[in-house]
């Protein structure tokens, strides 16, 4: 699958936003090491915070930079089902 240059730039920005969100979650290791650590329960808590932080980063990026549109043009006009057969559509 080939991506346009605009889609490649958008994807790189999206990945960057997710990584930035993950790093914000990792900051919890420094702020509260007794809760967010590498024990079983601490790691689950850390994963939850990192996941939510990454989702927020991704959502903010999509809000700021919506998906690039394709260059396919507008969709074809659908025929009017109420028109008589053989009648040209608009």
User: Would you put residue 37 in left (φ > 0), alpha (ψ -120 to 50) or beta?
Assistant: beta
- The stretches of 1-90 forming alpha helices (DSSP H) are 5-31, 40-64
pLDDT score for 61:
92
Q: What is the mean pLDDT of residues 73-82?
A: 63
**Distances, alpha carbon 58 to alpha carbons 12, 42, 51, in Å:** 12, 24, 10
pLDDT per residue as tens digits for the range 44-76: 999 999 999 999 999 999 999 888 776 555 556
Whether the full predicted model's pTM is greater than 0.85, yes or no, is no
């Amino acid at each position: 699958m080939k991506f346009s240059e605009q889609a490649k730039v958008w994807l790189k920005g999206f990945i960057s936003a997710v990584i930035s969100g993950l790093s914000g979650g990792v900051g919890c290791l420094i702020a509260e090491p007794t809760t967010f650590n590498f024990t079983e329960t601490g790691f689950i808590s850390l994963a939850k915070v990192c996941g939510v932080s990454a989702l927020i980063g991704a959502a903010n990026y999509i809000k700021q930079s919506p998906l690039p549109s394709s260059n396919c043009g507008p969709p074809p006009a659908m025929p009017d089902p109420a028109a008589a057969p053989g009648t040209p559509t608009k």
